[in-house]
Amino acid sequence: MPKLKKTRKFAVMKRMIKDTDARLKEQDRRKKQKVPESDERQLVEAPQTSSALFFQYNYKLGPPYRILLDTNFINFAIKNKVDLVSGMMDCLYAKCIPYLTECVQGEMERMGERFRLALKLMKDPRIETVPCLHKGIYADDCLVQRVTQHKCYIVATCDKNLKRRIRKIPGVPIMSVGQHKFVIERMPDAPQM
């Protein structure tokens, strides 16, 4: 007995009745709406870019580097047995100041007893706390908002969705954990003057 064909047919379009079909009544036909001339002439405004950016080089970014930590970055650093501050210094060859926002701390505390080592690491005196002034407790939104306002941070995360959001912001490098060390992505070179 032959098998049924289960493959989908691609590029098959739903059959539609054209506007000129005789079966349609006059009121059912779609009418093309004219766009007023004043709307056509309006210019689309580009988003305001930071004055710290010169082409792709961010002038606010320099040693000592300020690094915003995400929850999963801390957990991956513990799994790969990499010390936070010394690993960052080995990656960037400069002094680094790790920062934790209140939203990230709250997210870490909500994770519970399973991540108790990350909670101990969070209380390290070398890691500074940054207060949050926004509504809500979602850590990814907090990090994106802070980086959009202040271009002086490097974001340390292993979250794919957060990386995708941060890549859309010009001049913000991303640090992640890979092969038992920290890896920096999109770090700009020094400008040629």
Residue 192 binned pLDDT confidence (cut-offs 50, 70, 90): very low
Q: What is the CATH number of the domain that holds 151?
A: 3.40.50.1010
Could you give the number of structural domains in the chain? 1
Asked, for residue 28, whether it belongs to a domain, the answer is no
Per-residue pLDDT at 158 exceeds 70: yes
Secondary structure of the chain in the HEC alphabet? CCCCCCCCCCCCCCCCCCCCCCCCCHHHCCCCCCCCHHHHHCCCCCCCCCCCEECCEECCCCCCEEEEECHHHHHHHHHCCCCHHHHHHHHHCCCEEEEEEHHHHHHHHHHCHHHHHHHHHHCCCCCEEECCCCCCCCHHHHHHHHHHHCCCEEEECCCHHHHHHHHCCCCCCEEEEECCEEEEECCCCCCCC
- Mean pLDDT across the chain: 81
Asked, for residue 56, whether it belongs to a domain, the answer is no
Per-residue pLDDT at 85 exceeds 70: yes
Summarised one tens digit per residue, pLDDT across range 26-61 is: 776 666 555 555 554 555 555 566 656 655 567 778
Asked, for residue 51, whether it belongs to a domain, the answer is no
Asked, for residue 39, whether it belongs to a domain, the answer is no
- Residue 171 belongs to what domain range? 63-185
Summarised one tens digit per residue, pLDDT across range 71-83 is: 999 999 999 999 9
Asked, for residue 15, whether it belongs to a domain, the answer is no
Asked, for residue 1, whether it belongs to a domain, the answer is no
Asked, for residue 118, whether it belongs to a domain, the answer is yes
Summarised one tens digit per residue, pLDDT across range 94-132 is: 999 999 999 999 999 998 888 889 999 988 999 999 999
Asked, for residue 105, whether it belongs to a domain, the answer is yes
Report the pLDDT value the prediction gives residue 68, as an integer from 0 to 100.
Answer: 96
